[in-house]
Amino acid sequence: MLLKGKKAIVTGASRGIGRAIALHLAQNGADVAINYAGNEAKAAETVKDCQAYGVDAFSIQANVSEEEEVKTLFKTVTDHFGRIDLLINNAGITKDNLVMRMKADEWDSVVDTNLKGVFLCSKAAARPMMKQRSGAIVNIASVVGVLGNPGQANYVAAKSGVIGLTKSLAREFATRHIRVNTVAPGFIDTEMTDVLQDDKREDLLSQIPLGELGRPEDVAEAVTFLASDQSRYMTGQTLHVDGGMYMP
Amino acid sequence: MAETLERVQKIVVDRLGVDESEVKMEATFKDDLGADSLDVVELVMELEDEFDLEISDEEAEKISTVADVVNYIDSQ
B36 classed as catalytic: yes
Q: Calculate what percentage of chain B has a pLDDT beyond 90.
A: 72
| Strand, helix or coil for residue B28 | strand
Nearest in space to A189 (alpha carbons), one of A200, A201, A207: A201
Chain A contact for B14, CB < 8 A?
no
ipTM above 0.85, yes or no: no
pLDDT of B3:
87
Which chain A residue shows the shortest CA-CA distance from B46? A131
Q: Calculate what percentage of chain A has a pLDDT beyond 90.
A: 93
Residues spanned by the domain of B51: 1-75
**In DSSP terms, which residues pair with A60 in a beta bridge?**
A35
Is the pLDDT assigned to residue B1 strictly greater than 70?
Answer: no
Q: What is the 3-state secondary structure (H, E, C) of chain A?
A: CCCCCCEEEECCCCCHHHHHHHHHHHHCCCEEEEEECCCHHHHHHHHHHHHCCCCCEEEEECCCCCHHHHHHHHHHHHHHHCCCCEEEECCCCCCCECCCCCCHHHHHHHHHHHHHHHHHHHHHHHHHHHHHCCEEEEEECCCHHHHCCCCEHHHHHHHHHHHHHHHHHHHHHHHHCEEEEEEEECCECCHHHHCCCHHHHHHHHCCCCCCCCECHHHHHHHHHHHHCHHHCCCCCCEEEECCCCCCC
pLDDT of A137:
98
Mean pLDDT calculated for residue range A161-184: 97
Residue A92 marked as a ligand binder? no
Mean pLDDT calculated for residue range B36-65: 91
Give how far the C-alpha of residue B76 lies from the chain's centroid of Cα atoms, to the nearest Å. Answer: 15
Give how far the C-alpha of residue B59 lies from the chain's centroid of Cα atoms, to the nearest Å. Answer: 12
Residue A90 marked as a ligand binder? yes
Residues of A with Cβ-Cβ distance to B41 under 8 angstroms: 130
pLDDT of A200:
79
Nearest in space to B66 (alpha carbons), one of B32, B23, B22: B23
Is the pLDDT assigned to residue B2 strictly greater than 90?
Answer: no
- Residue B50: what residue type? E
CATH number at residue B31: 1.10.1200.10
| Residue A121 C-alpha, separation from nearest chain B C-alpha, in angstroms | 16
Residues of A with Cβ-Cβ distance to B38 under 8 angstroms: 130, 172, 175-176
| Confidence label for A71 from pLDDT (cuts 50, 70 and 90) | very high
> Do B38 and A127 count as a contact with CB atoms less than 8 A apart?
no
Is the pLDDT assigned to residue A193 strictly greater than 90?
Answer: no
Would you say A79 and A123 are in contact if contact means Cβ atoms under 8 Å apart? no
Query: For chain B, how many structural domains are there in total?
Result: 1
pLDDT of A142:
98
Is the pLDDT assigned to residue B24 strictly greater than 70?
Answer: yes
Residue A9 marked as a ligand binder? no
Q: In order of start, what are the domains of chain A with their CATH numbers?
A: 7-239 (3.40.50.720)
pLDDT (tens digit per residue) in A8-54: 999 999 999 999 999 999 999 999 999 999 999 999 999 999 999 99
Mean pLDDT calculated for residue range A134-163: 97
Helices A153-173 and A117-132, interaxial angle, to 10°?
20
